[in-house]
């Protein structure tokens, strides 16, 4: 695959991800607070940041590593959890120090806005197919 094709594919994927909605979104997450679910602000990461994070869960043999995945979860939450302006509010070490139950719930919300859930992946696939079809028809 040449660089031009790779760039075109990456641009198509990015457009499909952006079609999922706003890049900064408030999600109510139930972290066990006595007052019920709390509002957290998450940002959708650019495609290049998502690729960088994905590499953190791959070991030297090129295989998925569960222990590295734990760090991946913390990094995704740290990069996605933000203030109203999209600026991160915690680093990964702070997130890793939180109880697993809270990290897992925050990760689920961050994964949702970043298109990592099964439902989001299906939506991205649908939108990617439509986008690719429209690009192909406009170039013919």
pLDDT, tens digit, 9 for 90 and up, residues 51-88? 887 777 677 777 766 556 667 788 899 999 998 888 88
Same domain, 16 and 54: no
Residue 97 has a pLDDT of 92
Domain residue limits at 51: 23-114
Residue 67 has a pLDDT of 58
Instruction: Tell me how crowded residue 70 is: count the other CB atoms within 10 A of its CB.
Output: 15
Q: How far apart are the first and last CA of the chain?
A: 21
pTM of the model: 0.66
Same domain, 99 and 124: no
Show the tokens assigned to 119: 């439902």
Residue 137 has a pLDDT of 62
Same domain, 11 and 73: no
Spans in the chain with pLDDT lower than 50: none
User: In what side-by-side order are the strands of the sheet with 38-43?
Assistant: 24-29, 38-43, 81-82
Number of domains in the chain: 2
């Amino acid at each position: 695959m040449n660089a031009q094709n790779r760039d075109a594919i990456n641009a198509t994927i990015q457009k499909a991800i952006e079609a999922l909605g706003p890049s900064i979104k408030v999600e109510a997450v139930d972290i066990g607070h006595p007052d019920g679910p709390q509002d957290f602000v998450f940002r959708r990461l650019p495609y290049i940041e998502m690729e960088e994070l994905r590499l953190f869960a791959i070991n030297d043999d090129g295989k998925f590593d569960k222990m590295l995945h734990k760090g991946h979860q913390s990094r995704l939450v740290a990069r996605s959890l933000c203030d109203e302006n999209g600026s991160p509010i915690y680093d990964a070490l702070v997130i890793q120090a939180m109880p697993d139950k809270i990290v897992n719930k925050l990760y689920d919300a961050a994964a949702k806005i970043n298109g990592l859930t099964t439902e989001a992946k299906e939506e991205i696939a649908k939108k990617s197919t439509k986008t690719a079809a429209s690009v192909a028809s406009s170039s013919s």
